Structure 1
Amino acid sequence: MKKSPKSIMFLGTGSDVGKSVITTAFCRILKQRGVRVAPFKAQNMSNNAYVTLEGGEIGRAQAVQAEAAGLLPSVHMNPILLKPVSDRGVQVVVQGRVVDTLSGRAYYESQDQVRSRIMESFSHLADRYEAIVMEGAGSCCEVNLRPRDVVNFEMALATGSPVVLVADIDRGGVFAQIIGTMELISPKERDLVAGFIINKFRGNPDLFTDGISFIEQRTGRPVLGLVPYFKDIHIDMEDSMSLDETIARTGPVKGKINIAVVKVPHVANFTDIHALEQEPETNIVWLSSPVDLEPYQAVILPGSKSVIADMTVLHEQGWPHVLARYLEAGQGRVVGLCGGYQMLGRTIEDPEGVEGASPHATGFGLLDIATRIEAVKQVRLSSGRDRLFGAQVHGYEIHMGHTRMGEQALPFINFDHEPDGAVSADGRVMGTYLHGLFDSGVFRGRFLAALAKAGHILFDPSALREDYDQVRQRNYDLLAGHVKHHVDVDRILALMGI
Structure 2
Amino acid sequence: MGEFPGIKLSYVSRENIGYADLVIIPGSENPKESMEFIRSRGWDKEIRALSEKGAVILGIGSSYPLLGKTLSFSSGFKIKETIKGLGFFDIDIKLRQQEPARASGKVLNGLPGPADILSGLEIEGYRIYSGDIIMRGKENNFIKICDNSDNALDGFISTTGRVLGTFIHGIFDNSNFTVRFVNFLSNAKHDGSIIINNAKSFDFKKFKEAEYDRWADIVRGNLDIKKLYEIMGVVV
Task: Answer whether TM exceeds 0.5 for this pair.
Answer: yes
Change (3 A) 1:316 1:279: same
**For 2:228 and 2:45, how far apart are their aligned partners in 1?**
57
* Matched residue SS, 1:303: coil
| Structure 1 equivalent of residue 87 of structure 2 | 365
Equivalence for 2:73:
350
CA deviation after TM superposition for structure 1 residue 395, in Å: 0.9
The residue number in structure 1 matching 2:144 is 414
Q: Partners of 1:303 and 1:490 in 2: how far apart? A: 34
Alignment of 1:326 with 2:47, yes or no, is no
Distance 1:381 1:436, change over 3 A: same
Q: Flag the structure with more relative contact order, 1 or 2, with Cα contacts below 8 A and sequence separation at least 6.
A: 2
- Hey, what does 1:450 align to over in structure 2? 184
Tell me the equivalent position of 1:404. Answer: 134
Partners of 1:493 and 1:321 lie apart in 2 by 50
Per-residue displacement from partner, 1:367-389 (whole Å, max 9, x unpaired)? 22211134x63642211112441
From the superposition, tell whether residues 460 and 343 of structure 1 become closer, same or farther in structure 2 (CA, over 3 Å). same
Where do 5+ consecutive residues of structure 1 fail to align? 1-275
Q: Which amino acid aligns with 1:283?
A: K
1:72-95 superposed Cα distances (whole Å, 9 cap, x missing partner) = xxxxxxxxxxxxxxxxxxxxxxxx
CA contact (8 A) 2:5 2:195 kept: no
In the other structure, the counterpart of 2:200 is 464
Amino acid at match of 2:106: R
**TM-score, with length taken from structure 1:** 0.40
Letter in 2 for 1:313: F
Please state whether the residue corresponding to 2:95 is helix, strand or coil: strand
**Alpha-carbon spacing, 1:379–1:405, altered in 2? closer, same or farther (3 Å):** farther
Cα-Cα RMSD: 2.9
**How far does residue 304 in structure 1 lie from its aligned partner after superposition?**
1.9
Paired residue for 1:338?
61
Code of the aligned partner of 2:4:
E
Q: Cα distance, 1:398 vs. partner?
A: 0.7
Shift of 1:284: 1.7
Whether the 8 Å CA contact 2:158–2:164 is kept in 1: the answer is yes
Structure 2: gaps spanning 5 or more residues: 109-114
Q: Deviations over 1:267-308 (max 9, x none)?
A: xxxxxxxxx122242222121246253x21100111121222
Instruction: Give 2:22's aligned residue.
Output: 298
Preserved contact between residue 56 and residue 162 of structure 2 (Cα < 8 Å): yes
The answer to whether the 8 Å contact 1:442/1:465 transfers is no
Given that residues 57 and 162 in structure 2 are in contact (C-alpha distance below 8 angstroms), is that contact kept between their aligned partners in structure 1? yes
Kindly provide the amino acid, as one letter, of the partner of residue 215 in structure 2: L
Deviations 1:2-47 (A, max 9, x none): xxxxxxxxxxxxxxxxxxxxxxxxxxxxxxxxxxxxxxxxxxxxxx
Q: Quick check: 1:444–1:465 contact (8 Å CA) kept in 2?
A: no
CA distance in structure 2 between the partners assigned to 1:481 and 1:377 by the alignment: 34
| Distance verdict in 2 for CA 1:422–1:363, change over 3 Å | same
1:382 aligns with 2:107: no
Deviation at 1:494, TM superposition (A): 9.7
TM-score (structure 2 length as normaliser): 0.78
The structural deviation recorded for 1:347 is 0.6
Partner of 2:9: 284
Q: For residues 291-328 of structure 1, give each alpha carbon's deviation from its aligned partner in whole angstroms, at most 9, with x where no partner exists.
A: 253x2110011112122232133223322222111111
Paired residue type of 1:344? L
Task: Give per-residue Cα distances to partners, 1:96-153, cap 9 Å, x unaligned.
Answer: xxxxxxxxxxxxxxxxxxxxxxxxxxxxxxxxxxxxxxxxxxxxxxxxxxxxxxxxxx
What fraction of aligned residue pairs are identical, expressed as a percent?
A: 24
CA-to-partner distance for each residue in 1:329-351, whole Å, 9 max, x for gaps?
Answer: 2x210000011101000111237
**How far apart, in 1, do the equivalents of 2:66 and 2:162 lie?**
16
Per the alignment, do residues 279 and 309 of structure 1 end up closer, same or farther by CA in structure 2, a change over 3 Å counting?
same
Query: How do residues 63-212 of structure 1 correspond to structure 2 at under 5 angstroms?
Result: none
Which residue of 2 is the match for residue 234 of structure 1? Answer: none
Partner Cα distance (1:314, 1:360) in 2: 16
Structure with higher Rg: it is: 1
Q: Secondary structure at the match of 2:63?
A: helix
Give the Cα–Cα distance (whole angstroms) in 1 for the partners of residues 64 and 223 of structure 2: 47
Count of residues paired in the alignment: 218
Counterparts of 1:326 and 1:494 in 2: how far apart (Å)?
52
On the 8 A contact 1:306/1:355 being kept in 2, the answer is no
Query: In structure 1, what is the Cα distance between the partners aligned to 2:142 and 2:229?
Result: 52
Find the residue that maps to 1:384 and give its secondary structure: strand
- AA matched with 1:383: S
Matched-pair contact (CA < 8 Å) for 1:445–1:465 = no
- Could you say if the C-alpha distance between residues 366 and 290 of structure 1 is closer, same or farther in structure 2, counting changes exceeding 3 Å? farther
